[in-house]
Amino acid sequence: MLFDSYHCFTPQDFVFKIAQTQLELEGYWALRRAIFCQEQGIFHESDQDTVDERAIPIVCASLVAGMEDLVVGVVRIDEREPGLWYGSRLGVAEEFRSIKKLSPGVAVRNHQPVYRGLGALGAGLIYKAVSTAHALGCREFLATVQHQNARFFQRLHWEPMGELELFGLAHVKMRADLNYYLPAANPAIVSTSTRSRRQHSGRRRLRCDSRRRRLSPVCGGRNARVFRGERSMVRRLFRGDG
């Protein structure tokens, strides 16, 4: 019947990527403003600062029928000294926090572990941020994390380095264990030199990459099953003809 109630559609498919298009960038700035100005009230009209002049903006966008719909998560990364990278402005739109329904395709499409038990979009953004920096030469990845989120980061293999106050709020400086964040495998964001090395080393290297991916401690449990089940698809994606 026309007036029957209906369930709201909730996307279960997501992509994690460097924001590049106008829509992605607009969504990135709008979500940062919504979280850090309106929701948390840390900044007034804008949360932009000088870090944004050199930072790489990363977004998580929902997919509807395979096409990008809304930016639902943000984070930025920047290199402050050679090899020393920072992540900041991590946030997920309120209605997409701690989501429980996630398509297994999210892990395959993004070449990264995202599944219930490890975490969903927040954890996925952290993985994307650190593994992207790792692919770009990061040797140490740090963040100053709001105190209430320190346990969340610890579960994702970050160690606390000390407490401090920022913007009147308690924060914890933390370091990511890079052993748990393999360099990003998505050719679109890997630097040219890494990409050409990967192309030259051919199939043997690809096999090695996918095996390491399966054995990585952050890739255990459900995610490992996703990768085993989709092995041929992952190989195609790694070869770049998928």
Ligand X SMILES: CC(C)(COP(=O)(O)OP(=O)(O)OC[C@H]1O[C@@H](n2cnc3c(N)ncnc32)[C@H](O)[C@@H]1OP(=O)(O)O)[C@@H](O)C(=O)NCCC(=O)NCCS
Kindly list the residues in this chain that would bind ligand X in the complex (CB under 6 A): 35, 90-92, 97-98, 116, 119-123, 145-146, 148-149, 151-152
**Min separation Cβ 182 and ligand X, Å:** 18
Nearer to ligand X, 112 or 210 (CB): 112
**Min separation Cβ 162 and ligand X, Å:** 15
**Min separation Cβ 76 and ligand X, Å:** 12
Nearest residue to ligand X, using CB? 122
Nearer to ligand X, 173 or 235 (CB): 173
Nearer to ligand X, 173 or 205 (CB): 173
**Min separation Cβ 41 and ligand X, Å:** 12
Distance CA 205, CA 47 (A): 42
Nearer to ligand X, 149 or 216 (CB): 149
Whole-angstrom CA distances from 126 to 37, 112, 145, 209 are 21, 11, 12, 20
